[in-house]
Amino acid sequence: MNSLLLVGGRVIDPATQFDSTADVLILDGKIAAIGPDAATKAPANIEKVDCTGKVVSPGLIDLHVHLREPGQAAKETIATGTAAAARGGFTTVVCMPNTTPSIDNPAAVALIREKAAREGVVNVYVAGAITKGIAGEELAPIGSLKKAGVVAITDDGHCVQNNDLMRRALEYAKMFDLPVMDHCQDYQIVTDGVMHEGYWSTVLGLRGWPAAGEEMIVARNIVLAELTGTRVHCQHMSSAKSVELIREARKRGVPISGEACPHHFTLTDAAIAGSEKFWAEDGKELAASQGPDLPQWPAYDTFFKMNPPLRSARDREAILEGLADGTLEIIASDHAPHCDFEKEVEFDYAPFGITGFETELPLSLMQLYHTKRLSLNDLLAKFTVAPARLLNLPKGTLAVGADADVTVFDPDAEWVYQREQSASKSKNSPFHGWCMKGKVCATIVGGRVV
């Protein structure tokens, strides 16, 4: 069940800088050999998987997902969420703590880990809360959370507004060698905004969400990371200024990092005005990677409402540049499922968030690899070795002896995403009907095709 021979694929491992056509031997859930000797070392009756014309990479890692358990199983469960992750090529995910109740104590961590071991089809790691109840008022027991097995702390979905409290959180986190991931949002500036503050918010009559609301917290995190020496990871960057701030800080050696989500480097705020306006605004650039068959959607479509919001074409371009030059080291989905009825309301009242597992890799290939902004090796590093390094995970490599978590995909295969066919329990994706380029062929966890 967990021994395979992957034959004839282009094997790319950014962790070891291996990039060549080769066979990969998996024995008892571990990588046993790569290259010419893989076939000779394989048992005679081993199952073979033909990977000719496909890419074989370390299993992809998504360090920012919402599996909604405990308390929100109507939206997603560990079983359905990990099934969607496997469909998208992800062998490892890190679930966020903004559940009901929040993951702010060792018992909650144990619950998730036990349920994931029983029902999940991919590896599930847990991020614990920075503050009790994710209320931003009192620190959670960070040491106990670490002992229970969390790999990072974050109040994702919320942002600690008290700067002194955040400083103390960073100091405690450093004692336990835990990175701090932060949802960057200044509530006093953002207030009740529902979309990016700019031309389209004015035209559509929707309350604006200034980019400065993100940028001020990014700046604060840079200052505190420099002060404490703690690793701080800024989640779902959406603003050009945020990228600039992180770029300058990293040049000074500040332990700060950032991630980008495919929706922020594929779409812009013009999408909320409807497909006709969106393609008029950005059609020339997007059409080059999207192809001639463009989907249609109405104005005020709540599937385009997310946190942080879709921003301007200039911001989108800055995110792409930040990924290309290494300022943003990691790509994550911020997979945020919601029930249909929750999204079927006026734009103002709909919850923020979209699903993302099954479109994450193809959108990244389309916007970064097929447009020649990044090589396949550099793109895959953002899904493998970079998140593994940030969170100290024993994943993200095909080195001999490593866990046999492998993703096999065809970077050139074209297909159309249909949200009804998703493995996720929720269908709130804005990419319904999009022609994708790049398709997962097999997701292997511990040597077993899942």
Q: From the centroid of its chain, how far is CA 306?
A: 14
Q: From the centroid of its chain, how far is CA 105?
A: 24
Start-to-end CA span in the chain (Å): 11
348: annotated active-site residue = no
Bridge partner list, 258: 234
CB-based contact 358:431 (threshold 8 Å):
no
CB crowding 174-191: b at 16 or more within 10 Å, else e: beeebbbbbbbbbeebbe
Query: Which helix (H) or strand (E) element contains residue 112?
Result: helix 106-119
Query: Shortest CA distance to 354 belongs to which of 332, 336, 339?
Result: 336
Structure tokens at 402: 């490593």
Structure tokens at 175: 């004692």
Q: How many CB atoms lie within 10 A of CB 117?
A: 11
Q: Which residues contact 268 (CB under 8 A, 6 or more apart)?
A: 278, 281, 282, 310, 311, 312, 313, 315, 316
CB-based contact 129:103 (threshold 8 Å):
yes
Determine if the peptide bond prior to 337 is cis (ω within 30°).
no
Q: How many CB atoms lie within 10 A of CB 121?
A: 21
Q: Which of 334, 403, 405, 410 is catalytic?
A: 334
Structure tokens at 6: 């992957």
Query: Which helix (H) or strand (E) element contains residue 18?
Result: strand 18-27
Long-range Cβ contact pairs of 291-300 (< 8 A, separation 24 or more): 291/414, 291/435, 291/437, 293/435, 295/432, 295/433, 295/434, 296/433, 297/271, 297/430, 298/274, 299/204, 299/272, 299/273, 299/274, 300/204, 300/272, 300/274, 300/346, 300/347
CB-based contact 351:308 (threshold 8 Å):
no
Active site residues: 334
